Amino acid sequence: MTGAVSLGFDVLDTLMPMHILVEKSGEIVHAGPTAARLRPSHDLLGMKLLDVFNCLRPSCDGAFEDLRRLNGQLLKLQFRAAPHTRLRGLVHPLDGGQLLLNLSLGYSVVEAVSDYALTSRDFSHCDPTVEMLFLIEAKSAALSESKKLNARLDEAREAAQIQAETDALTGLHNRRAMDQRLCDMTQSRRRTEFGLMHLDLDFFKRVNDTHGHAAGDHVLLKVASILREETRSDDLVARVGGDEFVLIFPDCTDVTLLDTIAARIIARLEEPIHFGSEQCHISASIGTTVSSLYSDPDPDRMLSDADTALYQSKNLGRARHTLFKAVSATDDAVAH
Amino acid sequence: MLAKLEDKYVHGLINKSMQGFVTANHGNGAWAEIVHMTDIPAQGFESMLSYPDSMTDAVLDAACAYVGCTRPSLMEDIGMFLVTHPDLEAVRRLMRFGGPTFEDFILSLDEVHDRACLAVPDLTLPKISLNEAGAGQYVITTQWQVAGAISLVSGVLRAMADDYGALVALDVGPRLQSDGEILETLSVFIAEPEFAAGRSFILAERSA
């Protein structure tokens, strides 16, 4: 090769501040200013290169001679002593058996810059390490802003969903929420047994007509709080019409228990509700069905059956609870 | 009147920092008042969305009216706020990547636009160009669609000079306009690069 240049250490130190010069014997004789910042000089100068570094790749069994043959290849090195920083390296054999090793921080850059308190002056102006650190910080700042936006959007979405499933007056669930829950519970994969009650207030129209709509609203709020008190937190209470409510009792198909609950709800609704100086009197008719009556429960079918039972209650003189009675336990028999 | 091109947008990060400045310095009530005076979103700006530049102008005008100051003086205060407010330490750190001395930092200003684009591709900061005008003297030109960019830069430089511990003189020059972009100039004189002890800057801060 023609046209060789000979460079002094000062030039090497400027161009490649992370280089290390190794004697034929394998001893380190010189370290560039940044390489020298990685270890105290007595742990570097005069030490055998392969005592300081472990060569992870290509595998090298501690023979310095092997290193000389890796000229031009990517070396993955790691300090044997803590901090066990990983470095990338490139070796070039010089005349007279010396070896020039240039190092770079690779992906351990953030860790290493912090561990060795490196500054921008430790990197050559042509080395993009500082720009890389800038980008890492800028990207992580941008990412954290994005995460905040996502969190806010998620919150807003959740609030909108709750709003979409809530009855504005009473704060109970609405028909949409009820439909969704029934759909979830009857889906074959996630099928859950449950009791379904359809409740219609009795004499509510009279409250509105006699005492006005404000009294009617007040009564509905009171009804909502009674229904909440008389059910478990996992039960669903939905207002599905002006004075119509649906109650879903997951994992409860015990008709005796449901009958007791219905009787208790009716008794509490019959207590006089005070509105200013006036007293409002209402009651409720309830019809109930349970999912265990059906081999393949269908929400519409069950709602219709609960409704049938509810109208039986109305026809029998209101203020009572009726269980839906299938003609037979099989679906077909009920359907025909 | 400034030319307003319909297809120009200002990034939410910029709009959000104006909002942050107003609420930090003048309270939530001031921001509510400014929202009321303009047609910006009631919930405020989102930092990762972009908004038409007319909104940025409207907010700046409303903020000036509310505070009772001129656009340049408001922009200068926002610039200082960006670098000095403890909640915005990330901004100060990103600025300090400009270089180890204040002069290095000044020399890095013409890369700010590109650096910002690398981090957040749709973030278009003012384009800054730099001319040396003698030893320690520079003329900085900003080019942006919103008026007052130079005062923003001036506020940032004033705060960064403190951060580096340098003593500088800043002087905003006349404003020019070309093709809807506004050109503004600032002359910088670094009187004393190491006038006082600056704040520390560690290149890599390890997150816990």
pLDDT digits (tens, 9 = 90+) for B5-55: 445 899 999 999 999 999 999 999 999 999 999 989 988 999 889 999 999
Contact B97/A148, CB-based, under 8 Å? no
Q: Is A249 left (phi over 0), alpha (psi -120 to 50) or beta?
A: beta
Q: What is the pTM of this model?
A: 0.74
Chain centre to alpha carbon of residue A76: 37
Q: Does residue B26 belong to any structural domain of this protein?
A: yes
Nearest-CB residue to A110 (from B94, B99, B204): B204
The dihedral over CA atoms of A213, A217, A220, A222, expressed in degrees to the nearest 10, equals: -120
Query: How much is the average pLDDT of B186-200?
Result: 93
Final residue before a domain boundary, out of B21, B50, B68: B68
The C-alpha of A211 sits at a distance from chain B's nearest C-alpha, in angstroms, of 40
Determine whether A197 is exposed, middle or buried from the number of CB atoms within 10 Å of its CB (0-12, 13-18, 19+): buried
* B135 interfacial to chain A (CB closer than 8 Å): no
**B50 and B144 belong to one structural domain:** no
**B61 and B79 belong to one structural domain:** no
Could you list the residue range(s) of the whole structural domain that residue B90 is in? 75-192
**B129 and B187 belong to one structural domain:** yes
Which residues in chain B touch residue A133, judged by CB atoms under 8 angstroms apart? 97, 203-204
* B99 interfacial to chain A (CB closer than 8 Å): yes
**B57 and B88 belong to one structural domain:** no
More confident residue, B174 or A30: A30
What percentage of chain B carries pLDDT values higher than 90? 77
**B80 and B170 belong to one structural domain:** yes
Give pLDDT < 50 ranges for chain A: 328-336
Final residue before a domain boundary, out of B18, B48, B68: B68
Determine whether A84 is exposed, middle or buried from the number of CB atoms within 10 Å of its CB (0-12, 13-18, 19+): exposed
- Give residue A7's pLDDT: 86
**B179 and B85 belong to one structural domain:** yes
Q: Which two tokens stand for residue A271?
A: 């207590």
The dihedral over CA atoms of A295, A296, A300, A301, expressed in degrees to the nearest 10, equals: -20
**B13 and B86 belong to one structural domain:** no
Q: Does residue B94 belong to any structural domain of this protein?
A: yes
Catalytic residue positions of A? Answer: 243
Q: How many structural domains are present in chain B?
A: 2
The C-alpha of B131 sits at a distance from chain A's nearest C-alpha, in angstroms, of 21
Q: Does residue B206 belong to any structural domain of this protein?
A: no
Q: Does residue B3 belong to any structural domain of this protein?
A: no
Q: Does residue B25 belong to any structural domain of this protein?
A: yes
Edge-to-edge order in the sheet of strand B167-178: B127-132, B137-144, B181-192, B167-178
**B63 and B122 belong to one structural domain:** no
**B16 and B95 belong to one structural domain:** no
Contact A148/B47, CB-based, under 8 Å? yes
Q: Does residue B199 belong to any structural domain of this protein?
A: no
**B86 and B127 belong to one structural domain:** yes
**B35 and B126 belong to one structural domain:** no
**B111 and B29 belong to one structural domain:** no
The C-alpha of B101 sits at a distance from chain A's nearest C-alpha, in angstroms, of 10
Q: Which of A107, A120, A124 should we substitute to test contact with B (largest number of B Cβ atoms within 10 Å)? A: A120
CATH at B180 = 3.90.1520.10
